[in-house]
Structure 1
Amino acid sequence: MKIERIEAIPFAIPYAKKLQFASGEVDTARHVLVRVHTTDGLIGTAEAPPRPFTYGETQASIIAIINDVFAPQITGLTIFQRERVRALLDRTIGNPTAKAAVDMALWDLIGQSLGASVTDLLGGFGEGMRVCHMLGFDTPEVMVEQAHRMRENYGISTFKVKVGRHPVDLDVAVCRALRAEFGDAIELYIDGNRGWSASESAEALRQMADLGLTLAEELCPADDVLGRRWLVRQAPIPFVADESVPTQADVTRELLGGSATAISIKTARTGFSASQRILGQCEGMGVEVVMGNQIDGQIGTACTVAFGAAFAHTSKRAGELSNFLDMSDDLLVDPLQISDGVLSTRPGPGLGIAVDESKLSHYREDR
């Protein structure tokens, strides 16, 4: 079963509510649908969400690298030659989400060909994950209302609060309001997207020391090497590296250098193959992980839960699996459903997803 061709289709779906955070904002999901076709007529599917303010990729660059570089390199290989594909793609520097989407589409094909789910192929630990919802910048009142809606409608009780504004009091006030409203009924952690300095981060953590936060993610830039290490040494909770660890080598550097004590794994960034390796690194070093969200649509979210549910270590914490709820529409024939705070893996072989061709025709941007 050989790779016959690859499609990279740009599409744009507006968000019902714009998500704002320290490194940017998103009001439209301008993503790329990646489909790998085989000579036997199967189609593997994945989603590449460009984040130019984080990795330098754009919708146009993802399409160009897949069409001009990746497709010519791997067309003609079998779908089981994952390591050969990985070696060829890694000859090109960067482009993490383009590489990840190709990798995940191949896993989807392998599952379909074998009649097995990707989750079972990867590890088969569970059948779903508890869900964490990300709350973007807004007033305390609005963010409390959003948390109420997520709890009442979907049973979600874990929230990741975007922080990194100036002064730090703005975000401290939000976290205080959430804790005051919900008490111990919710889990809270924070993500700064590199928005604060090390000293501002330390002050914010000091002011929020009584709020029972469970994680602090990328509060200051990893490039501020000494300041970041100084901050992590005094952090009272695990300090998560996310956008600073796009490769295995980066994970090693951040952990051994004392710039992080936990890792966010994003399948949108490292696919299934590299994510397995990163998970193994973290398990071997006794480091906690969280399944992160690249503001994925439902296709990307299906990939995240397929990986996260496959392993015991990734299932310990709630995964960031719900921000597709902020989109006005999506591409799946059978939409994802969150119930009682849990997102289940899809039944069926591969990723268990099917694209609604009429919706794709409506939202695609290349016609």
Structure 2
Amino acid sequence: MKIAILGTRGIPNNYGGFEQFAEYLSVLLVKKNHKVTVYSPHFHPYKKKEYKSVHIKYIYSPEKYIGASANFVYDFLCLRDALKEDYDIILECGYHSNAPSYYLMRGRKRPVLITNMDGLEWKRSKWNIITRWLIKKLEKLAVKKSHYLISDNTGIQQYYLNEFGVNSYYIAYGANPVYAFNENILLSYSLSKENYYVLIARLEPENNIEMILDGFILSKSSLPFVVIGNHLTKYGVYLKKKYQGFNIHFIGGIYNKDILDSLRYYSKAYFHGHSVGGTNPSLLEAMASQALIVAHSNDFNRAVLKNNAFFFSLDRDVAHVINSLDNMMNDEIAMKKKNNCELIIKEYSWSVITNQYEKLFENILKDSLF
């Protein structure tokens, strides 16, 4: 098959979730003898035309001049170019800046346009009411114009069925199990094994940072709480000021996976407050790192974790979990960690996810409608 992956900031991954997804998926599909092209903005620091046998096509993006609005221009130019090629499949990652360019399809049935719908972007509290309205309109447009939809979480899949009456294919995001950790990393942050709590997230309201930290304060725990994420934003500055004087440490963003894996693994518990996404990459990485997870109680997180975590809905729930940990049986904690790692291997490893995409693409191309 000839496959194009659009809607990311290119590979090798130098940015975030969809970029990591595009890198793993494209490299593994090429190993299965498919021809894969990943579209990248012209300013990507990697300049070669191939990466691990994946073809890279560089497309102009005016981000330097118009900021985030450049995504609409970039995505339009990517799809326009892709439609000139002979791809069997175009996989779009996300929809909110991609959807307007879908009019270029003009009723075409080839190449097959498949959109991975990501999370419920319009629910993010950082958006004002007008932006939320626009994102909802773009979501509807993507649903209407895509040939097929992919949901990375059963909660997202159910949302599209309820909201639009459309079926989408469920294929999760991926992660690989981690087995190597470095305890010496803790020394750099004045931490010791299983004597700290950690949270790794974008510092945004919908990630329930305040609920978690308020609960930590209510617990009166003597252990430090480490918050990893860029705190140089308006909300980040607010959080630092609010929790000044407490045993809460904002250490900024860390982008080295080996360091993050070790900080998760050696923590007493990893807190996950995400509430509007689908299958969140950082949650899978915590599972893969064999961390004990305390997660916000919502359909998305529960669909991934099943019973292998502790859940909270209020700050007092957080306090209760923290105060209960010392009295919990080690076997119970070890079992949750083990079950999560096994879930990663069986359901979320990148090889499993790639096989699911390959099978879906092949079945779609065999569909009599095309």
Q: TM-score, normalised by structure 2?
A: 0.31
Choose between structure 1 and 2 for higher RCO, CA contacts under 8 A separated by at least 6 residues.
1
Question: Which has a greater percent of strand?
Answer: 1
Question: Which has a greater percent of helix?
Answer: 2
